[in-house]
Amino acid sequence: MVSVSDVKRWNIGQLDEIFRTVQQRLQVLTHSGDDYGKVFPVEGWAGPAADNAGSTHQGLMFRIDKMAAGASIVGKSIGQAADAISGVQHAIANAEELARKYGYQIAGNGTVNDLYPDGKAPAELHPEDRARARTEVGDAITQALRTADDIDNDLASVLKRAEAGDFGTGDETTVTAAAADGALDPGLTLSEPPKDGTPSQNAGWWNSLSPAGQAILLRDHPDWLGNLDGLPGAVRSQANIARMPAERADLQRQLATAQSYIDQIKGMPYPPPGLMSNAIGEWQKIEAKLNSLDSIDATMAKGDRQLLTLDTSGERVKATIAVGNVDTAEHVAVFTPGFTSTVDGSLKGYDNDMQNLLQHSENISNRFGDGGSVAAVTWIGYEAPQTSDVLNPDLSVGNDNLAKIGAHKLDGFLNGIGASHDIQNQSLHLTALGHSYGSLTTGIALQQSTPVHDAVVFGSPGLDMQTPSDLKVPQGHVYSEWSDQDPVPRLDIAHNFGTSPYQAISGGSVAGIEQLSTGDASGADGRTLHATHEHGQYLDNNSTSQYNMANVVAGRPDLTVRHVQPWEVPSPPPTPGQPVPAPPGRDPQPPPR
């Protein structure tokens, strides 16, 4: 196996020079070979000498054809290797930059050494961020070396096969045709994604490929890429959009089969009980999936959208759409909806909500924050519980089964955004938003290590936590909202979903979760904000609850309007355009992530 030192010594310039030389020699060989091929047979020459000369000529042409075919694929493969090596060297350079940023150094053998082994890293380098960065650096190096080995082995194989004369048939009509025949061989192949790869492994693999290699995979294997956490959002979106026609055609075939079965049942004199209702139910499920694709198409047609996940398996379509560019945005919000949410029924409304949230967040970022751009993501990447399944013990909204399944997927998605940003040395402030049962899903996901810096839960039945410290989010950066007429936070009387994030409001103590207002208020930007009262109103435009979320997303949680306890006196809102001091114990700006 090659080492980091080996790869850094590989000289692309020399390979490019060899490639040009091979191409020049091949051109001479094909021209001269084609000219030589025309000298025989000689008109009017016959007899034993002519036969011997013809046999010799045929043997030489066979060798020239094989040589041309071999030279053609060798030149092609050397060019491929030069291009592929540039991707690997770029990946190693990015990994070295990420390592330096977090206080690590990559040795020549690929090990990641801690420059602060005594635990005295600078205060701005959070331990969890450092630990995640170390994993990402290690995965990036592993994947880069895996790609480098693949390049080395493939090129060696091509050279050995060319030396053995394995390319071309030797009996092409011309030497030029023989060279073209040799070039049909793929030469170097592109490595597949790591099997069951983590987001950082996927990011490392993708980053180790050259732009040309990435373009080939986007063209030939969008099914590999669309749902692969750790890849850039633009790549995933392009791949998923490319998959849409085939997914639609497959569902249309399924629908036709389901309709045919219904027609067959109609022709039965005495169909078994339940057969028709089951068949109709299957038809309706497929139709809902097609309606989901329609909803995705309509949402993407608005422009400035990225289709980050697309999964038509299971009972319902799962999809994730971002407003804005998650690759370049400094502030990214990921919203997880809850009970009864579906792609066909909910995506349009939630996408509008995320569009509004993005606009307000960017306004706050520009006026009071760092000026960073924002992307807002609607993540319907799991099958949320539905009304029809309330009494189903496995699928009911009354238990956390579906939330746990969704949380595993959400955890990977959040880490994928972080890994993609880190590997490209892009700054990221990531906020998780969870509504209703989606807040339960979010809470479970955040009990794993993620790059999430802030979280807001609203209309939450619980987070499956015992204490806020169970959530791996920086202390003081978890926020909750509860509208006064929303019954959902009161439903979990038995605390099946853990300690309520609203226990402080209801008289208990849940230190570590900031309670935000949903009542009438004025914003730091001078806007008059209206109260929200019901379970489905938290994202209403120009509401206090939406304004609070926008501030958190923009990295200015200190501008939020807090829930006022009876013994507290509210402070007047800050004057627009004036610096806003952070209240005690709050960070006016998030630490780097």
Q: What CATH number does the domain containing 363 carry?
A: 3.40.50.1820
Q: What is the pTM of this model?
A: 0.90
Which of 219, 250, 270 is a domain's end point?
219
- φ, ψ (nearest 5 deg) of residue 255: -65, -40
Looking at the fold, whether 302 and 387 belong to one and the same domain comes out as yes
Give pLDDT, residue 490.
86
Task: Compute CA 260 distance to the chain's CA centroid, rounded to the nearest angstrom.
Answer: 38
pLDDT at 591 over 90: no
| 355-359, 373-377, 513-517: least confidently modelled range | 513-517
Task: Compute CA 326 distance to the chain's CA centroid, rounded to the nearest angstrom.
Answer: 9
pLDDT at 570 over 80: no
**Residue 403 falls inside a structural domain:** yes
| 222 prior amide bond cis, ω within 30 | no
Q: Where does the pLDDT of residue 580 fall: very low under 50, low under 70, confident under 90, or very high at 90 and above? A: very low
| 65-79, 121-135, 369-383, 562-576: least confidently modelled range | 562-576
Looking at the fold, whether 174 and 297 belong to one and the same domain comes out as no
Q: Taking Cα atoms as reference points, which of 225, 119, 152, 200 lies closest to residue 6? A: 152
Total domains in the fold of the chain: 2
Task: Compute CA 442 distance to the chain's CA centroid, rounded to the nearest angstrom.
Answer: 18
Distance CA 309, CA 322 (A): 10
pLDDT digits (tens, 9 = 90+) for 363-409: 999 999 999 999 999 999 999 999 999 999 899 999 999 999 999 99
Which of 219, 235, 250 is a domain's end point?
219
Compute the CA torsion angle 339, 340, 343, 349 (nearest 10 deg). -80
Give pLDDT, residue 506.
57
Q: Which two tokens stand for residue 133?
A: 């960065």
Q: For residue 8, what are the CA distances in angstroms to 12, 143, 208, 214, 575?
A: 10, 15, 13, 21, 55
What 3-state DSSP class applies to 106?
strand
Distance CA 526, CA 549 (A): 17
Question: What's the mean pLDDT in 574-582?
Answer: 50
Looking at the fold, whether 213 and 303 belong to one and the same domain comes out as no
Looking at the fold, whether 318 and 209 belong to one and the same domain comes out as no
Q: For residue 10, what are the CA distances in angstroms to 5, 15, 38?
A: 9, 9, 43
pLDDT digits (tens, 9 = 90+) for 277-334: 999 999 999 999 999 999 999 999 999 999 999 999 999 999 999 999 999 999 999 9
- φ, ψ (nearest 5 deg) of residue 495: 55, 45
Looking at the fold, whether 11 and 97 belong to one and the same domain comes out as yes
- φ, ψ (nearest 5 deg) of residue 309: -145, 150
DSSP state of 558: G
Q: Taking Cα atoms as reference points, which of 160, 175, 224, 131 lies closest to residue 33? A: 175
Domain that holds residue 11: 4-219
Amino acid making up residue 414:
L
Q: Pinpoint the alpha helices (H) of 113-210.
A: 127-163, 175-183, 199-207
Q: Where does the pLDDT of residue 171 fall: very low under 50, low under 70, confident under 90, or very high at 90 and above? A: confident
Q: For residue 79, what are the CA distances in angstroms to 20, 122, 157, 474?
A: 9, 45, 15, 48
Looking at the fold, whether 23 and 153 belong to one and the same domain comes out as yes
Which of 219, 251, 273 is a domain's end point?
219
What 3-state DSSP class applies to 239?
helix
Q: Which two tokens stand for residue 283?
A: 């038809």
Looking at the fold, whether 213 and 307 belong to one and the same domain comes out as no
Residue with the larger pLDDT of the pair 350 and 573: 350
**Residue 107 falls inside a structural domain:** yes
pLDDT at 494 over 90: no
pLDDT digits (tens, 9 = 90+) for 111-160: 999 999 887 889 888 888 999 999 999 999 999 999 999 999 999 999 99
**Residue 186 falls inside a structural domain:** yes
Question: 241-254 burial by CB neighbour count: b if 16+ within 10 A, else e?
Answer: bbbbeebbeebeeb
Amino acid making up residue 593:
R
Give pLDDT, residue 119.
76
Residues 6 or more apart whose Cβ sits within 8 Å of residue 264 = none
Share of the chain above pLDDT 70, in %: 93
Looking at the fold, whether 298 and 210 belong to one and the same domain comes out as no
**Residue 89 falls inside a structural domain:** yes
Residues 6 or more apart whose Cβ sits within 8 Å of residue 23 = 75
- φ, ψ (nearest 5 deg) of residue 81: -65, -45
**Residue 203 falls inside a structural domain:** yes
SS3 content of the chain, % helix, strand, coil (to 5): 50, 10, 40
Distance CA 236, CA 245 (A): 16
**Residue 307 falls inside a structural domain:** yes
> How many Å from the N-terminal Cα to the C-terminal Cα in the chain?
33
pLDDT at 454 over 90: yes
**Residue 236 falls inside a structural domain:** no
Question: What's the mean pLDDT in 555-584?
Answer: 62
**Residue 586 falls inside a structural domain:** no
Give pLDDT, residue 577.
53
